[in-house]
Every structure is written in C-alpha cells, then in structure tokens.
Amino acid sequence: MGRFWLGATGVFMAGLLFTGAVDNEFYFFSGYVILQGLIMATAWNILGGFTGYVNFGSAGFFAVGAYISVALHQALALPLPFLILASGMVCGLMGLATGYLTLRLKGIYFAISTLAMAIVLETVITNWEYVGGASGAYILTPKDSLFFASYVELLFMVMLIIAIAAVAFARYLSTSRTGKGLTAIRDDELAAECMGVPTLRLKLVSATAMGVFMGMAGAPFPFFITFVDPLSAFSLFIAVNAIAMPLIGGTKVWYGPVIGALILGLTQEITTVTISSELNLLIVGVVLIGFITLAPGGIVGLVQDFSRKRLRSKAAPSAGGDR
Amino acid sequence: MSAPLLDVRNITKSFGGFVALNDVSIHLAPGERLGLIGPNGSGKTTMINCVSGALFNDGGAIVFEGRDITKLPAYRRARLGIARSFQIPKPFRSMTVIENLLVPLEFAAWTRIDHGRINEEAFDILERIGLADLAHKNCGDLTQIDMRKLELARALAARPNLLISDEAMAGLSSEEVDEVLEILFTLNEGGVAVIMIEHIMRAVMRYSERIVVLDAGRKIAEGPPDDIVHNPDVERAYLGE
Ligand SMILES: Nc1ncnc2c1ncn2[C@@H]1O[C@H](COP(=O)(O)OP(=O)(O)O)[C@@H](O)[C@H]1O
Ligand SMILES: [Mg+2]
C-alpha cells in the first residue's frame, strides 16, 4: 500500500473518530460543506485544470445530481448509495454528451457554452413539477442513521468517502498515460493530436469523469439541506467555489484543488460563524481576483516557484551557467 | 519505381474564398528525400497540414502506404508513422524538455516501441539533437533555437516512416544547420523518408534527391536539384517578373 492510500485510510479513520468523539452537529454541517466543495473542485479540475477546458457549468451537473436523487427518492425510495451511483451515472453521461457537443469549441466559446447549458438545465428543472418545480421539494431526513449519532454525521462520512474516491481518481488520472495526454492537450491541442494523442476521446473521458463526480457531490445534497429548490441547487456560491478552489490551490496537480478547498472552505466556515455568511461570496471574489492576477499557478505554483528559486540560488555558484 | 510511400493526389484547400492549394499532387518513394520549396505564402505549410491531418483537404486524396488516409484524424496518421515539426514551435509548455518527447513516444509510437525503454529512448534522441544538457529544463525557458531543435526531437520521438520538417533550420547558425542535416541524413539512412521544407537553399539543395516547387498554391516545377536551380519558372516565382 502506497503512501497515498495510507494517508487516505488515515483520513477516513480520523473522520470516523471525529463522528464518535464530537457531538456538536455544527462541525458536521461545516465539514459537509467543505467536503462538497472539495469533491466539486476536484471534479472541475479534471476538465478545467488537467485538460485546460474552463467550465462554468458545474452548478448544472451538481444540481442535476441533487434532483436525480430527489426524483429517485420519491419514486422508488432507493437508499442513498444507489442515489449517489445513479446521479454519478446520469451526470457522467451528461458530461459525455455535452462534451461531445461542445468540446470541439475552443477556449472561451466552450466556457460560454457550458454557462448556457447550466441556464438551460435550471429552466428545465424549474419546470419539472414532479421534483417540486420552482417552489422546491421537502425531503424527510431518513430515521435510520446507522451507528452514527445523527444523520448529518452519516452524510459527513458519505461525503468523505466520495471525496477520497474523487481525489484518488484524479491522482490516478494525472499520473497515468491518459493524464500525460490531457496535459499535452492543455498545453497545445494541435501539437498533441499530431503526436498521436486522441484528443477528442481524452477530452470526453475527462468531461465524463467531471460529470460523474459533480453528480455524486450533488446526490446527498437534498438530504443535507432537507428543502431543495432551483435557487439552492443552482446557487452561484456553490458554482463559484468549484472554480475558485482549484484556482487558489493550483490546477496542474491533483492535490491543488484539495489544498484550495481546505483553505477556502475553512475560511468561509469561520467567516460564517464570526462575521456573516453574506461576506463569503465577496471573500471568494476578492481572493480569486488576487490569485488570478498575482499567482495564476495557485498555492502549489507559488511553492514550486519558491523552491525552484532556492534551488537555483544554491546551484548557481558551482554550475556557472546553464549551457 | 517502387510503390509510393505517400501519394498526394490532386488536393485542393481553400480558406474562405482564398485557394491556398490548387490541384497539387506529390508522391514520395519509401526512403526518399524530398525538398518542398516556394515563396512565402505559396502553400507549403498548408500542404503538410493536410498530409499530417492538422487540416482536412477539400478535394483530392491522400494515400499513405497504400491506404487512403484522407479522412483519418491526425492522431491516427501519427500512429501510422507520419511525423511533422511545426514551423512556429508548439512545445508543451508545462513540461520539461524530456517530457515533451515522452508524449509522442507514449502515443504516436506506443505500439511500435519497447515500453520499458522509453526514457532511454527519449534521452538518446535528445543526445542526437544536442539537447541532452537541457533534458530536465522547463521548456518554457528555452531559447527560440532550442525550441526549434525540440520540434525536431519530438518529431523523431514519434518513430516516423515519414518525417516532415517545416523550416526546422530557420535561425540556426551555419554549423547548426550542418548538424541538423547530418541528423536527417542518418535518419534517412535508417529508412525514414523525409520531406524538407526549407528556405535555406544550401541545405535543401544538398539534402534533397528531388525538389517540388510551389507557387501561389500550384506546383510549378519538380525535379532534381540541379534542374530546379536553372528552371526559369522557379526563378520567376522567386524574383518576381
Ligand atoms: N488557417 C488559415 N486560414 C486562412 N488562411 C490561411 C490559413 N493557413 C494558411 N493560410 C493562407 O494560405 C496561404 C498559404 O500559407 P502557407 O501554407 O502557410 O504558406 P507557406 O508555408 O508556403 O509560407 C497564405 O496566404 C496564408 O495566409
Ligand atoms: Mg510555412
């Protein structure tokens, strides 16, 4: 077992201990929100960071995940793991389909088309009466919370598992041959294609994976907030976080979104408690602008630049020029 | 004459109303060295964009090793053994120099190489091109000239049967031009056919067995270098009326 899986197991065990030792539900509500951000950030980064296709439609996938969950819960009363898998599958297919339709567009046109897609989805769901339409739907929290003290503790652990799965997948992808192909696409798509990289296929893989994890992040959401309407599912705050977290952490490596999600998520939770939740969107905005203009490589990029400079200043006296 | 390696049959390519290639045919025998010359804007790069699949031609057909590849996407052509360099270097900027070579090795050449030796293979190529010292440098830090060399190195890493070099020598010093020519001669001795697009006449005349001249999207001459130098049409194309 590698270091990564040891770490993942450690995180999982720590999560379990946390649910056992702490009773104040507030921490689990906060933890849930941070983990939700982490999953979405990791999902966004697979397409936006690894592959270089900036996507403004995250909210759409997340919300569809949440509403698939509402619909299947109402129709068949399926247990949560099935809802999560179903949402993942539907949103994965949606990622594949929209990818097929839009990934031939370059850069800014792709970004705009994903934004348009999110708006279309919001309209569709607002008019879908079965799941409450514009007025929303109440979800009764299931009575059974297994061996956890409350249902939110269970939801917290569910999110932790999805988060570990998402991060493990992103890590696997970025170290695989496919990941090298994605990096090549991000750097120069035409050159990649001419070097034998099947660019369309790899972009579709990446869009599908993005959709799967966005959907999975959305599936438990109705149970978490217990009342879901288009306004909360398509919330600007959730969508912006999914983009801001990877950009703050660093988009080029799998752990960038994790770092960004932890830092931004914690900051937001602390602000909510100490000042007000209204301030959060403002904070994301300001921090985001700061990073985009001053440190486009995110925190990971800053650290890499710093260590490279140190290495260079150490090596300089002996090496005496590069060539 | 043996069956052609590449047979470009009467291809046409327009951009809007502008005809960049007009009914051009080019053929190439296995292991042949062909020079492709012509004034700026005559359609040389467009031609190799069509052959490599970066662009699709409007009319005509492209046959490679007896197979019609006209509709094949670029990545499939790369896997068949068509490699090209770009006139304006297109490095993978977030990667190091050696990582740039791993992309064609792991994709274009993947089914034709020993997977355990990829790193050595990449390093061998860098050594041949004279970039070995820079192997672990970030390629964003490279000079223009090193980027041109990287273009060529990357094309070699695709393990081509047909290498198309698009002005790979522009900006190189006279010694460096000779070095690159040596590399391309050695490659050719190993059986790789080469299409060389080049403005440095000394290089292209020395290297090519046969030369095709394009002017304003048409083929105006074809033949051994000595004939081309004395061809009045070619002279007119280069010097104007
Ligand atoms: N993608 C393109 N869109 C529009 N015009 C193009 C494009 N590519 C090339 N051209 C035009 O086609 C002509 C031939 O260009 P090119 O093949 O690059 O010439 P060369 O490589 O011989 O200098 C030029 O007039 C150029 O402006
Ligand atoms: Mg050109």
Partner residue facing A180 (CB), from B79, B102, B133: B102
At A120, phi and psi to the nearest 5?
Answer: -60, -45
Outline where DSSP puts E strands in A145-295: 227-228
Could you give the angle at which helices A199-218 and A58-76 cross, rounded to 10 degrees?
A: 50
Q: What pLDDT is attached to residue A316?
A: 56
Ranges of H-type helices in chain B: 44-52, 74-80, 97-106, 118-129, 144-157, 174-189, 201-207, 225-229, 232-239
User: What's the gap in Å between the CA of B69 and the closest CA on chain A?
Assistant: 14
CA R_g for chain B = 17
Distance B46 CA to ligand 1 centre (A): 6
For B118-135, give the DSSP string. HHHHHHHHHHHHT-GGGT
| Structural domains present in chain B | 31-55+73-239 (3.40.50.300)
Q: What DSSP state is assigned to residue B87?
A: S
* A323–B54 C-beta distance less than 8 A: no
Residues of B with CB below 8 A from A188's CB?
Answer: 90-93
User: What's the gap in Å between the CA of A185 and the closest CA on chain B?
Assistant: 9
**Per-residue pLDDT tens for A168-225?**
999 999 999 999 999 999 999 999 999 999 999 999 999 999 999 999 999 999 999 8
Q: How far apart are CA A293 and CA A49, in angstroms?
A: 17
8 Å CB contact between A110 and A69? no
pLDDT at B2 over 80: no
Q: Which residue of A has its CA nearest to B101?
A: A195
**Per-residue pLDDT tens for A298-309?**
888 888 888 877
Q: Which pTM was predicted?
A: 0.89
Domain span at residue A93 reads 2-322
For B183-195, give the DSSP string. HHHHHHHTT-EEE
Q: How far apart are CA A153 and CA A158, in angstroms?
A: 9
Give me the number of domains chain A comprises. 1
Label residue A318 by pLDDT band (50, 70, 90): very low
Q: What DSSP state is assigned to residue A140?
A: P
Other Cβ atoms less than 10 A from the Cβ of B57: the count is 23
Cα–Cα separations (whole angstroms), residue A237 to A240, A286, A290, A291:
5, 14, 18, 18
The atom number, within ligand 1, closest to the CA of B167 reads 21
* A194–B78 C-beta distance less than 8 A: yes
CATH number at residue A43: 1.10.3470
**Per-residue pLDDT tens for B215-237?**
999 999 899 988 888 888 888 87
Size of interface A-B (CB pairs under 8 A): 80
* B93–A197 C-beta distance less than 8 A: no
* B79–A184 C-beta distance less than 8 A: no
Residues 6+ apart with CB under 8 A from B69: B53, B62, B63, B76, B77, B80
**Per-residue pLDDT tens for B123-171?**
999 998 888 999 899 888 888 888 888 999 999 999 999 999 999 888 8
